[in-house]
Amino acid sequence: MRSAILSGWWKTIGLALALLAVASCGGGGGSSSPPGSKLFVTDGGNHAIASLINPTPPPESTFPFDRTVEGPNTGLNDLGGTPSISAIPSVALDAANDRMFVATQLHAVVFDNIGTANGNAAFSRRISATFDKGGGLRGVNFYGLYLNTTSNILYVADVTGDVHAFDSASTRNGATTPDRTVTPDLGTIQVIFPFGCRQDPRPALRRYRPQCHQPVHNRLQRRVDG
């Protein structure tokens, strides 16, 4: 396993930091086994995921990573889109189920038991997809990931500006198609290389907004958001 040292407020580090995720993943179990990692850093330059057991390392400190997922079995080397630093642009973490989705642009690579994954650990599943944007099928670029753990839906922000939704994310595997694709219409403004997407977790609300009419009507218009 490569020895990686993290130091000086994450600055003097031999890694390309694409994303830092803090989570309460499980792992471990027996007294002889170390606990699961809780802080994950994607290393786009080396196509790896490094992790720490301690989720709150002290500032201005130097320490080695506890685990590094790296190697041909991980699926992190099978890249698409832009190379090097942007090779692993984002991850989505299901802390309660100890599962991570890793974007490699060509795929979303899934690791079960990510808290204890180490070395040349094989991925659990790998998702690829195509969709019809008009004029034929094109591949989904898994760039920005967001996971709704309540509804088990994986959202993917494509570099085209499209947002794809994949139901049953925890068991999705292999070549597939998105269950839904949203293409934003900003008029004359072009969407240029979105980095991610987020879903408002609040349920859609029925809101009543007063609308001005002639005095004789004096009515309310009901508006449904969502």
**Span 48-77, pLDDT tens digits:** 999 999 988 888 888 889 999 999 999 998
Res 23: pLDDT = 55
What secondary structure letter does DSSP report for 32?
T
pTM of the model: 0.75
Structural domain count of the chain: 1
Q: Give the range of the structural domain holding residue 61, as residue numbers without chain letter.
A: 5-224
**Span 142-173, pLDDT tens digits:** 999 999 999 999 999 998 888 999 999 999 99
Q: Which amino acid makes up residue 119? A: G
Host H or E run for residue 176: strand 174-176
Higher pLDDT, 194 or 3: 194
**Span 89-101, pLDDT tens digits:** 899 999 999 999 9
Distances from the Cα of 220 to the Cα of 185, 207, 225, angstroms: 29, 11, 16
Cα separation, 187 vs 41, in Å, equals: 37
**How many helices (H) and strands (E) would you count in the chain?**
0, 18
CATH number reported for the structural domain that contains residue 130 in this entry? 2.40.128.630
Segment 105-124 mean pLDDT: 96
Neighbouring residues of 22: CB distance < 8 A, sequence distance ≥ 6:
38, 39, 55
Beta 67-69 vs 153-157: how paired, if at all?
Answer: unpaired
